[in-house]
Amino acid sequence: MWDRPLSYPVRRTTEVIAELLPLSGRRVLEAGCGEGILVGWMRRQGACAIGLESALSALARARTRLGAADLVAGRGEALPFADSCLDGILWHNAFHHLPADAMVEALAEAQRCLRPDGRLLVLEPLAEDEYFALVRPLEDETAIRALAQQVLARASDLGFAPLSCTTYVQLVLRRSLEELLAALLAADPSRAARLARVEDEIAQAFARLGTASAEGRAFRQPMRACAFARPREGPQIAVVRALADRDAVLALRRAVFVEEQGVPHEEELDGRDAEAEHLLARLDGEVVGTLRWRRLDPLGTVKLERLAVRADRRGQGIARALLRFALARIDGCGLGPVILHAQAHALALYRSHGFEVEGDTFLEAGIPHRRMVRPRDPLAQAVRALS
């Protein structure tokens, strides 16, 4: 496949970023910034650019290059930034380096930190062509790169509006074999022993692949550029973390289940809230919906519970947004199957999200329910295989 010409255009990384990510006057984060090369470039374009890097050795080199200001140690799945404080987030050639079960969380964190109308841009290498073949003997990233694409395909479930997704070729220039080997080792010093074992194979590929030039050899690497926006309109879903938000969702559940549906207070507060993750939905700044989910066993079975939407806000897509967000998070953790006990009026809603009825009608808190099950999702299966 690497001998045939590709139809993708050859483009510079900076050209793609400038086209898809507004920079001038914007507060933009590069997650996984490495040595800060793109952070420095974005600053020269007028951005207030911040770099985040988990590898302390790379972060130290970035600080030597750019100074320590706004170069932060941290991970993309736990961004050390306040809600709605960023205009843009860039991932370049780094999203697939996250742990498999942290990718969905990284998207949720991006959604949390972006302002309304903020932009997320993810530039990811595909498992194709010359540069991939060159470094594959050291680390075959076929499966993890495919998983990154699966996760990005679920970004809309986490509240993002897809803007564009295009493929292009990035030319990776290496002046010599020695420079290539040094770059591979600098990216991950733990590779040293493996690199020694496959150095001859990489040397042969270096001589065979790529195109020679006065600067060394250039290797084709197909990249996929996916741009998303955080919408200004519609329900905004978030994980409950603050005490005030927890109080707000409990008050909403009390209004819906206890006051409206007559569920006994002691059954609504069942003592299991501490073991669950709670989600909330905001619309026009108000908390209007919630649900919780929790693990039932070590095998990954999950129960989804307490889906409630404020009476005056029903019919506006809030329940669907909560379900999509919750299921994306569950799948991103490699969990499932997912079970729930559905009231009769909600069966169609859950069926539209992959649930099927099991068993007969039963009473729960005096209300007819049906047990429904959603099998483990293919994304969850892929995460489990790589975790």
Contact 229, 118 (CB under 8 A): yes
Predicted confidence at residue 59, as pLDDT, reads 96
pLDDT above 70 coverage of the chain, percent: 98
pLDDT band at 105 (very low <50, low <70, confident <90, very high): very high
Say which DSSP state 312 is in.
Answer: G
Separation between Cα atoms, residue 332 and residue 15, nearest integer Å = 31
> Which residues does 265 contact at the CB level (< 8 Å), separation at least 6?
254, 258
Who has greater pLDDT, 5 or 191? 191
268, with CB counted inside 10 A (0-12, 13-18, 19+), is middle
Contact 65, 36 (CB under 8 A): yes
> Start-end ranges of CATH 3.40.630.30 in the chain?
236-386
Helix axes 318-332, 103-113, angle to 10 degrees: 140
Predicted confidence at residue 186, as pLDDT, reads 85
Two structure tokens written together for 37: 């090369």
Predicted confidence at residue 5, as pLDDT, reads 52
Q: Please say if the pLDDT value at position 11 is more than 60.
A: yes
Dihedrals phi, psi of 221, to nearest 5 degrees:
-135, 105
165, with CB counted inside 10 A (0-12, 13-18, 19+), is middle
pLDDT band at 213 (very low <50, low <70, confident <90, very high): confident
Predicted confidence at residue 6, as pLDDT, reads 59
Per the prediction, the chain carries an average pLDDT of 95
Dihedrals phi, psi of 278, to nearest 5 degrees:
-110, 140
Strands 367-374 and 356-364: antiparallel
Q: Please say if the pLDDT value at position 32 is more than 80.
A: yes
CA dihedral 219, 220, 221, 222 (to 10 degrees): 180
Predicted confidence at residue 1, as pLDDT, reads 38
115-161: per-residue pLDDT in tens?
999 999 999 999 999 999 999 999 999 999 999 999 999 999 999 99
For the 13-229 domain, the top CATH level (class) is alpha beta
CATH superfamily membership of 236-386: Gcn5-related N-acetyltransferase (GNAT) (3.40.630.30)
Predicted confidence at residue 2, as pLDDT, reads 43
Q: Please say if the pLDDT value at position 7 is more than 80.
A: no
Q: Please say if the pLDDT value at position 37 is more than 80.
A: yes
- The answer, as to whether pTM is greater than 0.85, is yes
Separation between Cα atoms, residue 29 and residue 42, nearest integer Å = 10
240-255: per-residue pLDDT in tens?
999 999 999 999 999 9
Predicted confidence at residue 41, as pLDDT, reads 98
What does the pLDDT average to over 27-31?
Answer: 98
Helix axes 142-152, 103-113, angle to 10 degrees: 40
> Start-end ranges of CATH 3.40.50.150 in the chain?
13-229
Residue 337 preceded by cis peptide, ω within 30: yes
